[in-house]
Structure 1
Amino acid sequence: MRHTKYLVDSEWLEQNLDNPQVVIVDCRFQLADPNWGRSQYRASHIQGAYYLNLDRDLSSEVQLHGGRHPLPNMDVLTHKFASLGIIQQETLVVAYDDSRFAFAARLWWLLRYLGHDRVVLLDGGWQDWLKRNYPVNNAIPEAKSGNFSPQPHGDWLADINMVKASQSKERVTIIDSRDRDRYLGLTEPIDPIAGSIAGAVNSPWKQVSNELGYLQPLEIQQQLWQDYRSAEEIIVYCGSGVTACVNLFSLALAGVQNTKLYAGGWSDWCSYLN
């Protein structure tokens, strides 16, 4: 049974389904079908879990600039967190998806950005829960009254101007979290322009887990970032600030704290290149 600062396993969660100090959040989502995750949740989910949608809950409306998944309005998000029964720095939030932490990590980062450190990811996600035949249902839990008072870490964010200024700084590392072919500009399935930010290095987010969705051992997490530990600052981006959070999760696991999220990512960057 595993319960750490950043991760829990299905066995631990199954034994804490009735724990009033635990709130479970289903983050399943598909970029190609934004309604898919909610429909899957309505069909079946971990007993007692709430649902948060990447587009509707964990992002705000797309504008000309700012990327495909701009960060959500923090006042609105704060009310949503409270409606799940989250009490600031008391409730343990367990986030899961079925996409190797891709969407659950966005929630993990947002909660911590707003000052709530008591949030973990479910190792193996939805697939592991099903494999173990642990309790699922399609009941939608009622809204609750939590107490969430955000304390944003403004210095955890980087915008396009900060990234541009950092390109000439030797002690700042810019990390592209996308698959290598997208980083190299060999393919671009989503954004209108292929390529990457000049000077960025590539560390694909999928390296953080294995193909079954289980977190790689701590030694591997540390190895991923060994070359960048001497950086004064690490700016992490992806296509739109979502899967970059998986790398930020890994960096935190490895004990690297001097990190920022360029939330707009490549989709914001290339919006200025047209």
Structure 2
Amino acid sequence: MQNVVPMKWLFARLYEPDIVIVDCRFQLGKPDAGREAYEESHIPGAVYLDLEKDLSAPIEEHGGRHPLPDIAELTATLSRAGIGNATRVVAYDDQGGAMASRLWWLLKYLGQEQVFVMDEGFSAWKAAGLLVNAEQKVLIPAPFLASVQHNMLVEVEEVQEIVAAADGSVVLIDSREAPRYRGEVEPIDKVAGHIPGAINRFWKDALGENGGWKDAEGQAARFADLPRDKSLVVYCGSGVTATPNVLALQEAGFSKVKLYAGSWSDWISYVDNPIAIGDEAERKYG
């Protein structure tokens, strides 16, 4: 199923009544920058959803830096934004699709089928001379009933079992940059390293040289060594930048893809969880 749509696809459908466009721009460390950018200019008709205020729960001892939001609160937020079960949702950001993919994943998790990420992002939209304005849409709430897809998510206990088994029956994929994966640097979390047994696939490799998403063939090439008959569990630092890899794996035709939403920041909140440093040995899947 198509998950990424070109800018011109959205431009042609700007005013179709069943489409809600969501601006997801957000900068880590600058929590107000995304909303300020939205208020300055955005795609016409777009509503704004904030990564930390709308698409995450408050931080607690466990759950990571961006815990999944409470389902009832999230569905209420979506409803207020005019997103109902029959709505087609198009999300965009200016962060390579990472924040938009978070909303894409959350909506898929809640059972929404018609949800897309706009290719390239807002800066490319503006550079192409397409319409922007600062007008804020009058929001008409829409009923949203969640149908939670529990098979899309794994919790820390399941990851612990995967690590303990160490039998290759499930593939763990770390979506962070290679130096963070190897534990050479850690600019955000308190502990460096990765979950034992995980392989590294940096999420930004889902993008081409122009900053747009690679096509299905390009995504498949990134994961050519991975088995299609086994479950894949994807994580990152806090569960946000893992979602572009989840999307990319789906584009590549993988069907057994799950998110460890708490990710590395949740994993290290349990002091007894093992930690690996350096590269993992080459693995043969089959």
Q: TM-score, normalised by structure 1?
A: 0.95
Hey, which bits of structure 1, 4+ residues long, moved more than 6 A?
none
Q: Distance in 2 between matches of 1:41 and 1:213?
A: 21
Distance 1:6 1:198 in 2: 31
Secondary structure at 2:20's aligned position in 1?
Answer: strand
Q: Take 1:96 and 1:229, find their aligned partners in 2: how far apart are those partners?
A: 31
1:140-194 per-position Cα deviation (integer Å, ceiling 9, x unaligned): 1122121211000112111111001012232100000000000000000100111
Q: Give percent identity, aligned residues only.
A: 43
Q: Counterpart in 2 of 1:84?
A: 81
Q: Secondary structure at the match of 1:228?
A: coil
Deviation at 1:92, TM superposition (A): 1.1
Q: Partner residue of 2:284?
A: none
Return the alpha-carbon distance in structure 1 between the equivalents of residues 142 and 217 of structure 2.
37
What SS is found at the alignment partner of 2:79?
helix
In the TM superposition, what are the counterparts of 1:1-274 in structure 2 within 5 Å?
A: 5-88=2-85, 90-167=86-163, 168=165, 169-273=167-271
Cα shift readout 1:35-71 (whole Å, capped 9, x = no counterpart): 1101111111111000000000000000011100000
**TM-superposed deviation, 1:224:** 1.5
> Which runs of 5 or more structure 2 residues have no equivalent in the other structure?
273-286
> Using the alignment, how far apart are the partners of 2:59 and 2:210 within structure 1?
32
Quick check: 168-177 or 197-206, which moved more? 168-177
Tell me if the contact between 1:17 and 1:47 (Cα under 8 Å) persists in the aligned partners. yes
Q: Whole-Å Cα distance in 1 between the matches of residues 209 and 263 of structure 2?
A: 25
Deviation larger for 10-19 or 180-189: 10-19
AA aligned to 2:122 is W
Change (3 A) 1:53 1:211: farther
Give the TM-score taking structure 2 as reference length. Answer: 0.91
Sort the Cα spacing of 1:267 and 1:26 in 2 relative to 1 into closer, same or farther, 3 A: same
How many residues were matched structurally? 270
